[in-house]
Structure 1
Amino acid sequence: MKHTAAAGSPTLKKVLGPLHLWALAVGLVISGEYFGWNYGWQVAGPVGFLVATLLITVLYVTFIFSFTELTTAIPHAGGPFAYSYRAFGPLGGFVAGYATLVEFLFAPPAIAAALGSYGHFLYPGLPVLGTALACYVVFISINLLGIKESARFSLLVTLLAVAELVLYMGLVAPHFRVRSFLAHPVPLGAAGVFAALPFAIWFYLAIEGVAMVAEEVENPRKTIPKGYIYGLGTLVLLALGVMVLTGGITDWRRLSGIDYPLPEALGIVLGRQSRWTQFFASIGLFGLVASFHGTIIGYSRQIFALARSGYLPGVLARVNPRFRTPHWALVAGGGVGAAALLTGTTAQVIILSVLGAVVMYAMSLLSLFALRRKEPRLERPFTAPFYPYFPVVALVLTMVSLGAIIYYNWLLSLIFFGGLGLMLGVYLLLGRHRQPLAEDALLAPVEAL
């Protein structure tokens, strides 16, 4: 038995251009500049967290340049799942697919919780959990309307979010003091830096989700590299600017454990009733909305691809005949996210998402090396620069990050790998690994997409 899409069934629609991909790349990630990273201050302080952030920035620069080779050579909605399946077969595809699914299923509830917190900051009568759950309903509905409509919405809110962060940096820069950044130091050492790595990863987490709309991109050979490279450059500048400036305007300990550090920081330096503080908190929702919307696109395409390939129930691979969107995948992922929201543990949900990401990064980089060896003639419209050095640096930093996350979060790691083992056992017992995909299922030649 071979798992293929039903003949004549609706397929995904190819409508995305370079600007859409830039917006999706930045939009997927930009909420990481608004919240989440500040939890890293609790374990490393601003200086140690800056070191962690610089290490992770190097990781993402080298990883994205390497990952783009895979995305353009195999433009498939499954993204990392497809690369690992091609390189290592069904079991490799399963591990990468599981890791990617965890990343994209658990990032949205963390962002939704922050949306609820921002709303509560503005209007104390709004319940955090109720607002977060309502966000799922609204944005799943928007995604059901179609990828082009979703991409236009993503472009609008991403442009607003980038402009807002630039405005924020302009407002707080005059209040930055080096002595505040260096005050109350946490001893600089490997332990603090390693413990802070998951929160530094949150600055860039999910940029690789661009790979999951590869089947909906016009001319992916040229468009995907532009989207990744311009998107990453934008995010590096925003992440470093926001983190450094925020750390030097007040006692950083006041901002290290909340889900709305930026409006709180403005409230401290300008006054909580300042029109700028209120304005920023109001439009601050755009950055969170951009990422929430983008990660919903990401998880739905991953569920769709895994279901289409026989890893998940086939109903999740159905495409709405009118809007050409994977409607059941959108709804199912929303159910998982809503359940995660009910736990009320933002930091732990972030760590689970990051754990899925770094396992997926490792599988993708190993796939890059394997495919270079196994398929030297595979058409590669974009090749990783400075090969093999860039992917080696990315893989080493990925494994260091993975080790640090496991060491400092052993219970969450046990849950993650326990889930992987359980689902892998079911997969093997059902004999799905002996039912390979059709030979051309992962070839995805660009001309055919």
Structure 2
Amino acid sequence: MLFVGINAVVGGGIFLLPGQAAAQAGAASVWAYLAAGIVVGLIGLCFAELSTMFDRTGGPILYARAALGRTAGFTVGWAVWLTYLVGLAALSDGFVSYLGSLWPAAKDGEVWIVPALIFVLCLLNTVGVRMGARVVQLFTIAKLVPLAVLVFAGLTFAGAVGNADLSLVPGGRGSFLGAVLIIVFAYGGFEGTAIPAGEMVNPRRAVVVAVLGTLAAVTTFYMLVQYAALRIEPNLASAGSPLASAGEAAFSGGLALLTVGALVSIFGTQSGVVLLAPRTLYSLAREGMLPEVLGRVHPRFKTPVVSIWVTGVLVAVLAVSGSVSSLILLNVAARLYQYLMVCISAGVLRLREPEAPRAFRLPFGPAIPAVAGMLCLFLLSRQPAVNLLATAGALAAGLLLYAAGSRRV
């Protein structure tokens, strides 16, 4: 479960965020990864406890529905889908940026490269879930190799002279909290490690290892990547493809290695998101929370074909019309809403059902969910107003669809 968690979290985000984090906080961006890891760790503990209270699939949708009601459960499910949708668009945009490092013409061809990429992924997942899963597995280990090479180079022979303490890194133009807010994007996926607790031999121990072990390992790895990249390339903040630029400065062939690694990692993460995102939409439709058409399956392949292609079209539109930074912040806003509702659900169920069986029980009663929820609220308050309004608008649109879908229940 520890390796499952690490694979779920380490994806395209680490190739997209180092430059933006450095632009916000400069050399302190290394520690921003630690702060983000602690915040997400507290939220992860809430997922861990809740996952041991239920023996059926549903994750955060199920938790919020049990604690706060059907409508709240829907809004969480819709927010989960929004994080997938906007995250996939950001990854698609980042894919083109890295591809442009090897093939400059790609930057001018985004309007057809992104739709073509999404089309291929949607087609693979329409043909069958097994095909989509195999694509994900293919890229599992490959994405870690170039990052490990970059860390080794940055810690040994490739650092800029006199930059061991990152003194050559320009100060950030934003804030430390701004960097933390952006970095939360790179931790998406950890919540999946807590879901199969009912299938573990010793869930009390295994869930702790899976959630906290994953976040500790990933946070350490992210900090090393950020430190190595800043030590090699002090002006990382101004690089369009940050780790590719660091690779180019590190050693001969580094640009190609890190660029290919980024493309492999981003495509692998995209494959996983295209596998999961439509099935969230499909599940909401099958539960009677969205219009029935979104729950239709392919007559031959038995895949949620309508949800797959609706998600794909929206991703393509978002990717070619937005930027990586704005899409990431929209993803974080929706993700923080999901996390906030899970923390509230953990606190509510602890107060309402204190004696309910929990294979993993948090210490200090509802204190940890309360602290984690307040951190989510604080980070949400640091979001630009336009992102909060966009997220609220997306939730309102979802509630309109929810009202339409609920009429048939």
TM-score bracket, normalised by the shorter chain, equals: 0.7 to 0.9
Structure 1 segment 269-288 matched on structure 2, within 5 A: 269-270=250-251, 274-288=252-266
> Displacement, 1:158?
1.8
| 1:79–1:304 CA distance, 2 compared to 1 (3 A) | farther
Find the counterpart in structure 1 of residue 215 from structure 2. Answer: 232
Q: Distance in 2 between matches of 1:418 and 1:140?
A: 26
Q: Distance in 1 between matches of 2:227 and 2:332?
A: 22
Q: Distance in 2 between matches of 1:325 and 1:385?
A: 42
Greater displacement, 342-351 / 33-42: 33-42
> Displacement, 1:97?
2.2
CA RMSD of aligned residues (A): 3.1
Q: Deviations over 1:299-334 (max 9, x none)?
A: 122212211122222222234465453332222111
Find the counterpart in structure 2 of residue 413 from structure 1. Answer: 388
The reply to whether residue 198 of structure 1 matches residue 176 of structure 2 is no
- Tell me, yes or no, if the aligned pair for 1:24 and 1:294 is still in contact at 8 Å: no
The aligned amino acid for 1:39 is Q
The reply to whether residue 125 of structure 1 matches residue 84 of structure 2 is no
TM-score normalised according to structure 2 size: 0.86
Find the counterpart in structure 2 of residue 3 from structure 1. Answer: none
Correspondent of 1:251 among 234, 244, 248: 234
> Displacement, 1:209?
5.0
Q: Distance in 2 between matches of 1:354 and 1:309?
A: 26
Runs of 4+ in 1 over 6 A off after TM superposition: 220-224
> Displacement, 1:119?
1.8
| 1:221–1:311 CA distance, 2 compared to 1 (3 A) | farther
> Structure 1 stretches of 5 or more lacking a match?
1-17, 437-449
| 1:280–1:50 CA distance, 2 compared to 1 (3 A) | closer
Q: Distance in 2 between matches of 1:314 and 1:377?
A: 38
Greater displacement, 72-81 / 339-348: 72-81
- Tell me, yes or no, if the aligned pair for 2:18 and 2:242 is still in contact at 8 Å: no
The reply to whether residue 294 of structure 1 matches residue 272 of structure 2 is yes
| 1:227–1:289 CA distance, 2 compared to 1 (3 A) | farther
Q: Distance in 1 between matches of 2:89 and 2:333?
A: 15
Q: Distance in 1 between matches of 2:357 and 2:295?
A: 28
Find the counterpart in structure 1 of residue 166 from structure 2. Answer: 181
Q: Deviations over 1:161-198 (max 9, x none)?
A: 1222112211222233546723354379xx71222232
Find the counterpart in structure 2 of residue 443 from structure 1. Answer: none
- Tell me, yes or no, if the aligned pair for 1:180 and 1:250 is still in contact at 8 Å: no
- Tell me, yes or no, if the aligned pair for 1:37 and 1:199 is still in contact at 8 Å: no
**1:355 alignment partner, SS class:** helix
Find the counterpart in structure 1 of residue 314 from structure 2. Answer: 336
The reply to whether residue 381 of structure 1 matches residue 355 of structure 2 is no
Q: Distance in 2 between matches of 1:280 and 1:203?
A: 18
Correspondent of 1:403 among 361, 366, 381: 381
Q: Deviations over 1:92-135 (max 9, x none)?
A: 11331232222111000111111122222112233334332222
Greater displacement, 322-331 / 31-40: 322-331
Greater displacement, 276-285 / 327-336: 276-285
Q: Distance in 2 between matches of 1:44 and 1:201?
A: 15
Q: Distance in 2 between matches of 1:221 and 1:316?
A: 37
Find the counterpart in structure 2 of residue 44 from structure 1. Answer: 25
Find the counterpart in structure 1 of residue 145 from structure 2. Answer: 163
Greater displacement, 83-92 / 387-396: 387-396
- Tell me, yes or no, if the aligned pair for 1:300 and 1:326 is still in contact at 8 Å: yes
The reply to whether residue 262 of structure 1 matches residue 243 of structure 2 is yes
Find the counterpart in structure 1 of residue 64 from structure 2. Answer: 84
**2:232 alignment partner, SS class:** coil
> Displacement, 1:376?
3.8
> Displacement, 1:78?
4.1
The aligned amino acid for 1:307 is A
> Structure 2 stretches of 5 or more lacking a match?
none
| 1:26–1:234 CA distance, 2 compared to 1 (3 A) | farther
Same amino acid, percent of matched pairs:
24
Q: Distance in 2 between matches of 1:340 and 1:361?
A: 23
The reply to whether residue 354 of structure 1 matches residue 332 of structure 2 is yes
| 1:298–1:74 CA distance, 2 compared to 1 (3 A) | farther
| 1:232–1:197 CA distance, 2 compared to 1 (3 A) | closer
